[in-house]
Structure 1
Amino acid sequence: MFERFTGGARAVVAGAVDRAKETGADSISEEHMLLALLDQQGSRASFAVAALGLTDRRASVEASLAEARRRGGLTKADTDALAGIGIDVTEIVARVEGAHGEGVLSGERKDRRWRAGRPPLTRGAKTILEKSLRIAVGRGDRFIGDEHLLLAFTVTPGVVADVLTEHGATHETVTRALYGEEADGQAKAG
């Protein structure tokens, strides 16, 4: 699959590896990939990201991702469902952090040392790559670009899709930003 990646898509994956190393993560997540995509300049996806205002709200995107990590990766739908049966996730997080330290549910450990070689991709990151391939094939493209990765983020349920939606980047708005109004019904791959 990687042989079909454009330079922009390869840069996203390489940037995700760098972000994972910087944070001491033991694997590359879809969050690392999104943040690396937001770093891109001069690509089709970077123009869509700018058009949607994500570039200007990057700090808010990062804060939303950090808050989701603090909740142990629970999405807003997860926390709402738990609240519906009387479970206050905020209270649980506060109690756990009170007993074990701030950020304990995030899974981050600053004392990890980076192993030699390329870190593995999380299941979520692999899903993004697979969906980007499906989206490219569905559009009739013979390549996988960073725009396909961006679209894959919007159709893959989870924290990254929630954060993008919270910031106005749904599948429909991203499709319009990338391809215009006439392409609105195309490109959704499941």
Structure 2
Amino acid sequence: MFERFTQGARVTVEGAVAQAERVDAGSVTEEHLLLALLEREGGRASFALAALGLSGRHASLDTAFAEARRRGGLTKADTEALAGIGIDVGAIVDRVEGAHGEGALAADRRSRRWWSSGHRPFTPGAKGILEKSLRVALGRGDRFIGEEHLLLALTATPGTVADVLAEHGATYTTVHRALYGPEADGRGHAKAG
């Protein structure tokens, strides 16, 4: 699969590893992939992110990710669903933090395998994004996997990253439109008309 990655996509994956190293994370996550995309310049994904106003919003994204980690990784949709059945996640987080300290649910569940191998592993979610990017590329009829496919995969995969992106106006639809224009069909080609 990696032989299909463009140079920009490879640099993005390497950037995700660097993001994980920077914060001393035990593994590379979907969040690291997004942050690496945000640091890239000159690619299609960076153009789409800029068009959607996300280029200068690192602090806002970091805050949203920190809040999600504080909730133990629950998305806002999860929190709202639990509230619908009478479970107040905020109250639970407050009680857990009261008993175990601030950020108790955000504890880094490190994999220490990278210490022995020298390489940080990718979480199942991050691996899923890489696989989904292949499916996105194949669905579009592309013979390569680019940064744009990684970004679309991040928006199309349910979870914290897609939730945070949607809160910032970057859904699959808006990203697809920013990448391929409003007249593009599902494969990114202009509609006949």
Question: TM-score range with shorter-chain normalisation?
Answer: over 0.9
* Structure-2 separation of matches of 1:156 and 1:135: 11
What amino acid sits opposite 1:137 in the alignment?
A: L
Percentage of identical aligned residues: 70
- Offset at 1:56? 2.5
CA contact (8 A) 1:176 1:184 kept: no
- Offset at 1:4? 0.8
What amino acid sits opposite 2:178 in the alignment?
A: A
CA contact (8 A) 1:52 1:177 kept: yes
Q: Normalized against structure 1, the TM-score is what? A: 0.92
Provide the residue aligned with 2:130 in structure 1. Answer: 129
Give unmatched runs, 5+ long, in structure 1.
none
Matched position secondary structure for 2:183: helix
Whether 1:166 and 2:184 are equivalent positions in the alignment is no
- Offset at 1:20? 1.1
CA contact (8 A) 1:21 1:114 kept: no
Aligned length: 186
Give unmatched runs, 5+ long, in structure 2.
189-193
Deviations 1:45-88 (A, max 9, x none): 00100000001222111111111011000011110011111111
| CA RMSD between the two structures | 1.7
* Structure-2 separation of matches of 1:58 and 1:163: 12
Q: Normalized against structure 2, the TM-score is what? A: 0.91
Matched position secondary structure for 1:41: coil
Alignment of 1:10-29 (within 5 A): 10-29=10-29
* Structure-2 separation of matches of 1:174 and 1:83: 30
Alignment of 1:68-87 (within 5 A): 68-87=68-87
Matched position secondary structure for 2:150: helix
